[in-house]
């Protein structure tokens, strides 16, 4: 326990950079936590407490050092109707249950199922997330005065141009500069625009432990269960995808199952401390890596700085114009979007593009990333089955006097190619005997076995004798438990050209 | 086939480490492998605190990090190659012809963990390339805890092993040390001193006579001494008084948690010993 949980290098390997990166991340977390609270329909303090709890707890229990977890847009979108219909207390309860689910997922080692999620779905997920974050800003940009547009444009200008200022540009986080400049500008010019204070209560104290104030019965459970299940899945998907991004950027590896459990533990803390469910954040994690953060310390400090700033600066937070937050969130949305995927649309195969676009469209339509990912994975699997079914063909031959016909099948026979297998037989042809040579075929499932039976029955009805060669070898792939076949020689037995 | 592994990193101790390797390889008649580990820092020197992400930020960042690490790795590889070549020439000039070099990516302990099955013993310089005078080389504790082969930690100039100090407390670990050193050809014709530190001298004497009996079976004569006081200090004092060449002991027999709370005997020995330590796990 102690050995795996307190690796010195994972904490203290990069102290100076982690301390700076943690600060940059904390500054960027504040507007995000507020914005995501607004998406979920709760007071900003709920998102801020959540971000603090999750960041601090995940620093200890997460499986990916240097990854930033906090309140996120993906999770906020799932809980909107729960908050609207049942209220905040049910959200806390759902958050706790989400954590329990995620811990169970960790113990069941569900992290390995990430290998079923193809690259195209991951890209679709990231793009859908970016689109959702952007769309969530639209309410702040509709039915407002021109001032808001001007302020937002000004904010974006500062965010993207300030880094070009020599020296200072790479020392001061430009989102912070944006917020400070816009806040001062609005405050002193007396422009009447919406501010953070108009959106709900900000934290004035440290978070305190509280039990959700809800009736403890089956009815409550049935209300929160579907939300918690969705939240657990969305949270784990985004966390595990983000961890692969961080893995790639830092050339290190992470422990997926520990991350699942860690997310669960972090959410349980968040639920008890008056926070909403959260998960890893792609944009923030990229910012952390870019700022030099690598180890657990960066995550921990991000959470602590966040809380200190929020508690002691809540009066100042109140007057931040929403336009500044919108500008920061648009930046997050742009930075999260995978622009290379748009360029690659032309060069990638249609099936890949369809999988990516399906993921995006379903997610944006349902506002639930889990639905998008499931559709994407399903579609990708079907495309894959279709591709593999092309890897089956047959050779036919006759004996000297054309009385015996031999069908030699080569390749993969399974649900999608079973029909093609059956249709290969020429049932109209009159021959004395048909030999079905399966020594080079692989029967993957019961559909394949059924198709063979059907063909044999039909041939026999027509008065043809049927002989099958190599059926045992061909159907040895029907077995479900491949665990015992992991050894090369076993694979050779099953897949070899028997 | 088992091999003797010598880890070289270009530090001051690299020659001494090699000399111990040569001496042991000759005694055991086993091949010598010179290992250089290319350890990636996985941290960056370029820090951009602008905190913004825009079009293609992820891709640009990845490119930047890849380029930075590539040049860092290339430098380390080149440096390691030079050290290995230099050391191999030295080893051959000392008459050990059966000598190979090996360069691997990763941390030292990852690498040793991967290789340990084929190894008889690993010889490592105790002061890493970058560490200061009183610090033990980074990751040494991690390494000792992970690897299950004997490790010789070198912390000074080379000297033929002619005498050995064995710390004995009657534990399974200590018995293992006795078993290993009794049979090992590394320690033929070596004077052995077995020492127990305990407040109660009767216990000490009982343990020591047990140990003596173990050696007597193999017709090896040993000297014993019962000491009292702080075990680390007493052992080091005894070693200095009798001018013994190497200290053999079991390492980290307690779990990590206990070590964190009470401090580890092994870690203190690592810090204070002036002579090479032979550690058995």
The closest CB to that of A249, out of B50, B65, B260, belongs to B65
CB A277 within 8 A of CB A80: no
> Residue B217: pLDDT band by 50, 70, 90 thresholds?
confident
Does B49 contact A173 at a Cβ distance shorter than 8 Å? yes
Q: Do A332 and B53 touch (CB under 8 A)?
A: yes
Mean pLDDT value across chain A? 89
A20 contact residues in B (CB cutoff 8 A): 47, 49
Do the beta carbons of residue A31 and residue A260 sit within 8 Å?
no
Nearest to A333 by CA among A127, A81, A192, A29: A127
Q: Which of A252, A16, A224, A184 is nearest to A101 (CA)?
A: A224
Domain edges within chain B: 3-41+74-154, 163-248+256-274
Beta-carbon contacts of residue A466 (< 8 Å; ≥ 6 apart): A433, A434, A435, A436, A456, A459, A460
User: Contact A258/A62 with Cβ under 8 angstroms?
Assistant: yes
Q: What is the CA radius of gyration of chain A?
A: 29
Question: Which chain A residues in 263-292 lie under 8 Å from chain B, judged by CB atoms?
Answer: 283, 286-287, 289-292
* Model confidence at A45: pLDDT above 60: yes
User: Which residues sit opposite B37 in a β-bridge?
Assistant: B104
Q: Confidence class of residue B212 from pLDDT cuts 50, 70 and 90?
A: confident
- CATH architecture of the region A390-495: 2-Layer Sandwich (3.30)
Residue of B nearest to A21 (CA): B49
CA distance B112 to A363: 47
Chain B contacts to A (CB-CB under 8 A): 40, 42-44, 46-59, 61-62, 65, 69, 139, 145, 255-257, 260
Residue A376: CB partners within 8 Å, gap ≥ 6?
A: A117, A118, A120, A121, A124, A125, A355, A356, A358, A359, A362
- Please state the pTM of the whole predicted model: 0.83
Helix (H, G, I), strand (E, B) or coil at B50: coil
pLDDT at A42: 94
Mean pLDDT across A155-174:
89
CA atoms within 13 A on the CB side of A220: 15
| Residue A224: per-residue pLDDT | 95
Residue A249's contacts (CB-CB under 8 Å, 6 or more residues apart) are A286, A289, B58, B61, B62, B65
Q: Which of A290, A297, A301, A334 to mutate to test the interface with B (most CBs of B within 10 A)?
A: A290
Q: Where are the beta strands (DSSP E) in B98-228?
A: 99-105, 119-125, 151-154, 163-167, 191-197, 222-227
Q: Of all helices (H) and strands (E), which one includes residue B221?
A: none
Q: What sign for the dihedral angle of Cα A270, A275, A276, A280?
A: negative
Worst-scoring range by mean pLDDT, A339-348, A380-389, A479-488?
A479-488
Question: What is d(CA A477, CA A324) in angstroms, rounded to the nearest whole number?
Answer: 60
Binding-face residues of A in 60-89 toward B, CB within 8 A:
none
- Give the residue-averaged pLDDT of B41-70: 84
pLDDT reported for residue A485: 41
pLDDT at A374: 94
What is the pLDDT at residue A111? Answer: 85
The predicted model gives A376-381 an average pLDDT of 96
The pLDDT-based confidence of A490 (bands split at 50, 70, 90) is low
pLDDT digits (tens, 9 = 90+) for A447-461: 888 899 899 999 988
Residue A233 has pLDDT above 90, yes or no: yes
Contacts B47 to A, Cβ<8 Å = 17, 20-21, 170, 291-292
Q: Which of A34, A70, A66 is nearest to A52 (CA)?
A: A70
Task: Give the pLDDT score at A1.
Answer: 39
Q: Which of residues 84-143 of A touch B (CB under 8 A)?
A: none
Chain A nearest CA to B105, separation (Å) = 12
Q: B58–A286: do the CB atoms touch at under 8 Å? A: yes
User: How close B28 gets to chain A, by Cα (Å)?
Assistant: 35
pLDDT at residue A284 is higher than 90: yes
Chain-chain contact of A292 with B58 (C-beta, under 8 angstroms):
no
Contact call for B57 and A159, based on CB within 8 A: no
* Neighbour tally for B239: CB within 10 Å: 22
Residue A60 makes CB contacts below 8 A (sequence gap 6+) with: A5, A296, A300
**Whole-number pLDDT of residue A483:** 42
pLDDT of residue B134: 46
Across the interface, do A290 and B53 touch by the CB < 8 Å criterion? yes
- Alpha carbon dihedral A351, A357, A358, A359, in 10-degree steps, equals 110
The answer to which of A27-36, A479-488, A489-498 has the lowest mean pLDDT is A479-488
Interface of A with B in 393-412 (CB under 8 A): none
What span, in angstroms and rounded, lies between the C-alpha atoms of A451 and A416? 11
> Are A250 and B51 a contacting pair at CB < 8 A?
no
Q: Is A219 on the interface with B (CB under 8 A)?
A: no
pLDDT at site B269 = 81
Q: How far is A391 from chain B (nearest CA, A)?
A: 36
Q: Does A293 touch chain B (CB under 8 A)?
A: no
Instruction: List, for residues A64-73, the tens digit of each pLDDT value.
Output: 999 999 999 9
pLDDT of residue B263: 57
Whole-number pLDDT of residue B258: 55
Name the residue among B43, B52, B58 with its Cβ closest to that of A175. B52
What is the pLDDT of chain B when averaged over all its residues? 81
pLDDT value of residue A2: 46
- A175 at B interface, C-beta within 8 A: yes
- CB proximity A493 to B under 8 Å: no
Question: Of how many residues is chain B composed?
Answer: 281
* Dihedral-angle region of residue B139 (phi above 0 means left; psi in -120 to 50 means alpha; beta otherwise): left
Closest C-alpha to A325, from A84, A171, A136: A136
Average confidence (pLDDT) over A10-31: 89
Instruction: Report ipTM (2 d.p.).
Output: 0.80
Query: Which chain A positions have a beta carbon within 8 Å of B49's beta carbon?
Result: 20-21, 24, 170-173, 291-292
State yes or no: pLDDT of A480 exceeds 70. Answer: no
Overall average pLDDT of the B109-131 stretch: 78
Contact B62 A339 (CB under 8 A): no
Single out the residue of B281, B176, B261, B273 nearest to residue B234, CA to CA: B273
Range with top average pLDDT, A21-30, A49-58, B50-59, B84-93: A49-58
The fourth-level CATH superfamily of domain B3-41+74-154 is HUPs (3.40.50.620)
Q: What does the DSSP 8-state code read for residue A64?
A: S
CATH 3.40.50.300 is the classification of domain B163-248+256-274:
no
Mean pLDDT within A192-216 = 86
Interface contact flag, B53 A336, Cβ < 8 Å: yes
Average pLDDT over residues B185-199: 82
Would the pLDDT of A489 be above 70?
Answer: no
CA dist., res. B121 & res. B101, Å (int): 16
Cβ contact, residue pair B43, A13, below 8 Å: yes
Neighbours of B277 (CB within 10 A): 21
Measured over the CA atoms of residue A201, residue A206, residue A207 and residue A210, the dihedral's sign is: negative
Whether A283 and B53 lie within 8 Å, measured CB to CB: yes
Residues 372-391 of A with CB under 8 A from B: none
Instruction: Decide if pLDDT at B133 tops 50.
Output: no
pLDDT score of A6 more than 70: no
Question: Among A40-44, A490-494, B164-168, B183-187, whose mean pLDDT is lowest?
Answer: A490-494
Distance to chain A for B54, nearest Cα, Å: 4
B51/A294 touch (CB, cutoff 8 Å), yes or no: no
% residues pLDDT > 70 (chain A): 94
Is A343 within 8 Å of chain B by CB?
A: no
Cβ atoms of residues A110 and A260 within 8 Å: yes
CA nearest neighbour of A298 among A92, A85, A108, A28:
A28
pLDDT per residue as tens digits for the range B246-259: 888 877 666 555 55
Considering only alpha carbons, which residue of chain A is nearest residue B260?
A2
A11 in B contact zone (CB under 8 Å): no
* Percent of chain B residues topping a pLDDT of 90: 8
pLDDT digits (tens, 9 = 90+) for A73-97: 999 999 999 999 999 999 999 999 9
């Amino acid at each position: 326990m102690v050995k795996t949980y307190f690796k010195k290098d994972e904490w203290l390997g990069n102290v100076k950079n982690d301390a700076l990166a943690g600060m940059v991340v904390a500054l960027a977390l504040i507007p995000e936590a507020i914005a995501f609270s607004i998406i979920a329909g709760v007071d900003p303090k709920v998102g801020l407490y959540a971000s603090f709890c999750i960041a601090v707890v995940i620093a200890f229990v997460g499986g990916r050092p240097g990854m930033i977890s906090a309140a996120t847009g993906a999770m906020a979108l799932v809980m909107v109707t729960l908050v609207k219909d049942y209220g905040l207390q049910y959200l806390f309860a759902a958050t706790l249950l989400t954590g329990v689910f995620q811990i169970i997922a960790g113990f069941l080692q569900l992290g390995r199922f990430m290998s079923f999620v193809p690259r195209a779905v991951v890209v679709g997920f990231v793009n859908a997330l970016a689109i959702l974050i952007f769309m969530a800003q639209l309410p702040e940009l509709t039915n407002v005065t021109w001032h808001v547009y001007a302020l937002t444009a000004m904010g974006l200008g500062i965010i993207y141009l300030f880094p070009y200022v020599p020296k200072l540009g790479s020392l001061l986080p430009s989102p912070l500069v944006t917020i400070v400049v816009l806040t001062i500008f609005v405050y002193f010019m007396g422009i009447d625009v919406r501010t953070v204070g108009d959106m709900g209560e900000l934290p004035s104290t440290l978070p305190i432990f509280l039990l959700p104030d809800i009736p403890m019965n089956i009815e409550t459970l049935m209300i929160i269960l579907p939300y918690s299940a969705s939240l657990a899945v969305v949270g784990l998907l985004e966390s595990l995808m983000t961890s692969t991004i961080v893995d790639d950027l830092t050339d290190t590896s992470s422990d997926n199952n520990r991350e699942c459990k860690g997310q669960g533990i972090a959410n349980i803390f968040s639920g008890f401390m008056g926070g909403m469910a959260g998960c890893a954040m792609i944009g923030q994690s990229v910012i952390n890596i870019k700022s030099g953060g690598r180890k657990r310390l960066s995550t921990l400090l991000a959470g602590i700085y966040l809380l200190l700033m929020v508690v002691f600066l809540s009066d100042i937070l109140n007057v931040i114009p929403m336009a500044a937050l919108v500008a920061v969130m648009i930046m997050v949305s742009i930075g999260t979007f995978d622009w290379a995927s748009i360029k690659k649309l032309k060069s990638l195969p249609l099936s890949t593009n369809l999988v990516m676009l399906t993921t995006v469209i379903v997610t944006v339509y349902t506002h639930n990333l889990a639905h998008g990912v499931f559709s994407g994975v399903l579609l990708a699997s079907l495309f894959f089955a279709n591709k593999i079914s092309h890897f089956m063909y047959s050779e036919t031959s006759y004996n000297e006097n054309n009385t015996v016909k031999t069908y030699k099948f080569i390749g993969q026979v399974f649900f999608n190619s079973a029909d093609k297998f059956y249709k290969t037989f020429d049932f109209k042809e009159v021959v004395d005997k048909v030999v079905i040579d399966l020594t080079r075929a692989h029967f993957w499932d019961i559909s394949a076995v059924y198709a063979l039976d059907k063909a044999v029955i039909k041939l026999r009805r027509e008065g043809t004798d049927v002989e099958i060669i190599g059926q045992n070898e061909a159907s040895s792939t029907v077995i479900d438990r491949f665990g015992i076949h992991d050894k090369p020689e076993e694979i050779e037995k099953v897949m070899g050209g028997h | 086939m088992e091999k003797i592994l010598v880890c070289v990193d270009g530090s001051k101790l690299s020659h001494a480490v090699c000399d111990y390797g040569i001496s042991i390889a000759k005694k055991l008649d086993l091949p010598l492998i010179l290992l250089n580990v290319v350890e990636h820092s996985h941290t960056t020197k370029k820090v951009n605190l602008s905190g913004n992400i825009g079009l293609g930020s992820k891709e640009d960042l990845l490119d930047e990090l890849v380029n930075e690490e590539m040049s860092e790795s290339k430098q380390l590889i080149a440096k390691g190659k030079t050290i290995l070549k230099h050391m191999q020439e030295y080893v051959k000039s000392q008459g050990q012809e059966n000598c190979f070099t090996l360069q691997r990516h990763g941390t030292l302990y990852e690498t040793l963990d991967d290789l340990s099955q084929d190894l008889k013993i690993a010889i490592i310089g105790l002061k890493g390339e970058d560490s200061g005078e009183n610090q033990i080389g980074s990751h040494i504790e991690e390494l000792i805890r992970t690897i299950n082969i004997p490790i010789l930690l070198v912390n000074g100039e080379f000297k033929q092993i002619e005498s050995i100090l064995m710390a004995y407390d009657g534990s399974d670990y200590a018995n293992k040390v006795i078993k290993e050193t009794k049979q090992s050809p590394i320690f033929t014709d070596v004077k052995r001193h077995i020492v127990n530190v305990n407040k109660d001298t009767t216990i000490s004497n009982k343990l020591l006579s047990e140990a003596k009996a173990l050696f007597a079976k193999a017709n090896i004569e040993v000297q014993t001494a019962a000491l009292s006081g702080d075990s680390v200090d007493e052992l080091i004092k005894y070693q200095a008084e009798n001018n013994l060449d190497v200290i053999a002991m079991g390492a980290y027999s307690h779990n990590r948690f206990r070590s964190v709370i009470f401090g580890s005997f092994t870690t203190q020995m690592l810090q204070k010993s002036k002579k090479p330590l032979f550690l058995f796990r």
